[in-house]
A and B are shown apart, each in its own frame.
Chain A
C-alpha cells in the first residue's frame, strides 16, 4: 500500500479524534483569550509553550527526568529481580508456593503508598527510601505474573517433555520459560508502569535535587500554572511511552506464542 493511501485511511479513521482535540484546544484558547478563567488558574496555551521551552532549554527537565529514571532503574532492577526469582521458584515448586503465598498475599494488601511513612523511618529521606519504595512497587506485579505464567504452561507440553525424558533444566529452558514468557513480559510492563507512578509519589513526599516529582512540587510552590501543565503532560507522555514500548514487545511475544501453537 502506498504511503498516501495509508495516510488517507489513517485520516479517515482518526479524524474524529483530531476534531475533538481541536475543539478542546479552541475552547481552552477562547477561555483564556476572553479571560473567563484567571490565568493564575488556567494558563494560556502560549504560557504552557513558554514554560516548556524554558524547562527544556535550561536543562531542568532533562535533569529531572534523568534523576527520576536513575531511581526507577535502581528500584525497578531490585524489585523485578527479587519478584521474578520468588515468582519463579513459587511457580515451579508447590511447597515453596505454600510456604510463601500467605505472607506475600498479606503484604500485598497494603496499598503501596501506605508504605511511604514506614520506609522513610527505616531508610531516611534520601535516595535509599525512594529506591526501596519503587522496588516494593515493582516487586509484586512481576512476582504474580511470573507465578501465573509458569502455572499457565499447558500440562500437555510438560507431558510431551516427560515422554521425551527431558532433564529438569531442559524442561525449564524449552517448555516452561518460553510458555511463561508473555506473562512475564506483561508483568515487566506493569512493574515498569508502577515504578513510574511511584517515583513521582516518592519524590513529592521526600524532596531531592532533581526528579520529575520535584519539578511537579516546585511548579506548585512557585505558583507556575504553565509548568504545572507541562509536568502533567510530560508525566503522562512518559507513562504512555512505557506502556506502548512494552505493549509492543508483549504483542510480539504473543503472536509468536499463537503461531507456535
Chain B
C-alpha cells in the first residue's frame, strides 16, 4: 500500500522531470535563444542575485504591504456590508440590487476611474485591490448568514434567546465557514490584482520588477518573478487554510461540548 502511494507520487514527477531535462538540454546548447528562455541555472543565479542584493525582498515588501492594506480594507468593508445585508432585511432589500449591479463590473474596468480620482500612486493600488477583495467577502458573508438553517432560528425563538445570544451561538458559528472561504477568495484575488496594478502603474513592487525586466528583455528576471509570485500566492493560501482548520476546528469542538 505504502509502495503504491510512493509509486503514484513518483509518476507525477516524470513529466516535470522530462520538461526540466529538455529545458536544460535545449538552453545549454542555445537551441532556444537565452533571450527567450534562459537555462535553469541562469534563473537560479538570477534569483540568488536578486535575493542577496535585497532587491527582491524590497519589492516583495512593497507588494505585500499593498496586498495587506487592500485586503484589510476590502475584507472589512465587505464583511460589514455582508453582515448588514444578512442581518437586516431592509438593508438587503435596498442594497442588494445595487451590490449585485456593481459586482457585475470586473474590477479591471475601474482602473481608469480610480486613476482619475486617486492618481497612480499607493492609494490607487490599495483601493483597486480592496475593490477586488470587497466583492467576494460581501458575497460570502451574506451567503453564510443567509445559510443559517431556519430550524435553528426556530429553536432559538422557542427558547427566547436575546439577539446577542442568537448571534453568538447560532449565526456566527454557522456563517463562519462561508466567511472563511470568502477570506481565502479575497486574498488570492488581492494577490492577483496587486500584480495587475503594478503592471499598469509604475512604482516599486514585484509586478513592476517584471515589467521593467520585460522591457529590457531580461527573461530570467521575469521568470524569477513568475515563480516567486506563484510560490507566494500558494503560501498565503496555505497559511489561511491552516488558520481555518486551526480556528474553525476549535470552534467546532467548542460547539460539540
Q: Is A257 an interface residue (CB 8 A)?
A: no
Contact of A117 with B214 at beta-carbon distance under 8 Å, contacts A98-B12, A112-B192, A220-B116 already known:
yes
By a CB distance below 8 angstroms, the chain B residues around A197 are 106, 108
By a CB distance below 8 angstroms, the chain A residues around B231 are 109
Q: Is the CB of B36 within 8 A of A122?
A: yes
Q: Is B68 an interface residue (CB 8 A)?
A: no
By a CB distance below 8 angstroms, the chain A residues around B35 are 121
Number of A-B contacts (CB under 8 A): 147
Q: Is the CB of B199 within 8 A of A243?
A: no
Cα separation A240 to B106 with both chains bound (whole Å): 10
Q: Is the CB of B199 within 8 A of A17?
A: no
**Partner among B14, B98, B108 whose Cβ is within 8 Å of the Cβ of A99:** B14
Q: Is the CB of A236 within 8 A of B105?
A: yes
**Partner among B19, B199, B230 whose Cβ is within 8 Å of the Cβ of A109:** B230
Cα separation A111 to B13 with both chains bound (whole Å): 23
**Partner among A14, A117, A240 whose Cβ is within 8 Å of the Cβ of B211:** A117
Q: Is B95 an interface residue (CB 8 A)?
A: yes
By a CB distance below 8 angstroms, the chain A residues around B196 are 113, 201
Interface size class, chain B:
35 or more
Cα separation A103 to B98 with both chains bound (whole Å): 41
**Stretch from B51-59, B75-83, B216-224, B243-251 that touches the partner:** B216-224
Cα separation A217 to B230 with both chains bound (whole Å): 28
Contact of A102 with B16 at beta-carbon distance under 8 Å, contacts A220-B112, A239-B106 already known:
yes
Q: Is the CB of A24 within 8 A of B98?
A: yes
Q: Is the CB of A240 within 8 A of B104?
A: yes
By a CB distance below 8 angstroms, the chain B residues around A20 are 94-95, 97-98
Question: Restricting to B9-35, which residues have a CB under 8 Å from any CB of A?
Answer: 11-16, 19, 35
Cα separation A115 to B230 with both chains bound (whole Å): 10
**Identity of the chain B residue whose Cβ is nearest the Cβ of A194 in the assembled complex:** B106
Interface size on A, residues (CB 8 A): 54
Contact of A239 with B105 at beta-carbon distance under 8 Å, contacts A20-B94, A111-B188 already known:
yes
By a CB distance below 8 angstroms, the chain A residues around B195 are 111, 113-114
Q: Is the CB of B192 within 8 A of A113?
A: yes
Q: Is the CB of B210 within 8 A of A114?
A: yes
Q: Is B93 an interface residue (CB 8 A)?
A: yes
CB distance from A189 to the nearest CB of B (A): 14
CB distance from B72 to the nearest CB of A (A): 19
What are the interface flags for A90-115 relative to B under an 8 Å C-beta threshold, 1 for contact and 0 otherwise? 00000100111111001001111111
**Partner among B95, B104, B223 whose Cβ is within 8 Å of the Cβ of A239:** B104
By a CB distance below 8 angstroms, the chain B residues around A217 are 112
Q: Is the CB of A111 within 8 A of B233?
A: yes
By a CB distance below 8 angstroms, the chain B residues around A17 are 93-94, 96-98
Contact of A116 with B98 at beta-carbon distance under 8 Å, contacts A109-B230, A200-B109, A232-B110 already known:
no
By a CB distance below 8 angstroms, the chain A residues around B15 are 99-100, 102-103
**Partner among A18, A98, A121, A232 whose Cβ is within 8 Å of the Cβ of B8:** A98
Cα separation A197 to B132 with both chains bound (whole Å): 13
Beyond A102-B13, A117-B213, 16 extra complex contacts between A and B, CB < 8 Å:
A16-B93, A17-B97, A18-B97, A20-B97, A98-B11, A99-B15, A103-B19, A109-B234, A111-B192, A112-B192, A113-B192, A114-B225, A117-B214, A219-B112, A232-B110, A236-B106
What are 5 A-B residue pairs whose CB atoms fall within 8 Å in the complex?
Answer: A201-B196, A216-B109, A220-B112, A228-B112, A240-B104
* B contact set with A: CB distance below 8 Å: 8, 11-16, 19, 35-36, 90, 93-98, 101-102, 104-106, 108-113, 115-117, 188, 191-193, 195-196, 199-200, 207, 210-211, 213-214, 217, 219, 222-223, 225-226, 229-231, 233-234
